[in-house]
Structure 1
């Protein structure tokens, strides 16, 4: 895990891969809980029997936004950004979903620092995020996650 305590330490990673998270298995329980939380109960995600026969994947798949919502979890495995007053999810840019994530797949996140700007004391970091699926050549998604960091 990379420890980042200030703007200069963060900036040292510009243009470089910061790290890769651990693998995380996407279970049907997690998919069902996400469906309940977001009120998105589309059958392709939650109906295991129908998915076996009607889905092109022959199983249920994770919601794209479920996989995206794991970015902060994975980022915390890669970097420990310390000495903060506050951290804010600021946005997502250029996000492309490349492949569905079937239930029981393992995914992990690969992160590089694409850009970093000091906005009058607030650090705006743009992280290039890639979500890999174990044993699959195509990514689940890739895109830029923007965070604002208020260092002490």
Structure 2
């Protein structure tokens, strides 16, 4: 049996189960400011703490939605090891993405992954779809949910 076939059979037994929970990451104002600079998205709700405290219902600045989403790679790093025979992993995109709650500066986030689907895309590629929920510490509503696709590439 090939490494891909073994990984596929194992993954099929894990459909609809939680496959990982990441470590917490602090999203502070310096991180938000750096993201604003890199992406040229310097809207005041992200980078002006005094104005955001006075003029928004959030009590301060909030992280960019795409900053929150960009942490998905780090959360995945905490949760997924390379499979036997796997040579690399490739981000394949999203099937669904919803931003549910703003992330206030100073919040801690973590990712929670549940395997939704798995299939062989080719003789060397395993396609996995995980529901990613990015949780905000102390909040019932998550920051976002996404159905994230990833390719596990195996030796030929």
TM-score by length of 1: 0.91
Which of the two has higher C-alpha Rg? 2
SS at match of 1:56: coil
Partners of 2:96 and 2:148 within 8 A in 1:
no
| Long gaps (5+) in structure 1 | none
**Which residue of structure 1 lines up, in the alignment, with residue 73 of structure 2?**
72
- Residue 11 of structure 1: CA displacement? 3.4
SS at match of 1:86: strand
Q: Deviations over 1:104-126 (max 9, x none)?
A: 00111110100001012211100
**Which residue of structure 1 lines up, in the alignment, with residue 40 of structure 2?**
39
**Structure with the largest fraction of strand:** 1
> For 2:134, which of 124, 131, 134 is the aligned residue?
131
- Residue 9 of structure 1: CA displacement? 3.5
Partners of 1:6 and 1:151 within 8 A in 2:
no
TM-score by length of 2: 0.89
- Residue 14 of structure 1: CA displacement? 1.8
Root-mean-square deviation (Å): 1.4
| Long gaps (5+) in structure 2 | 1-5
- Residue 81 of structure 1: CA displacement? 2.0
SS at match of 1:41: coil
SS at match of 2:61: coil
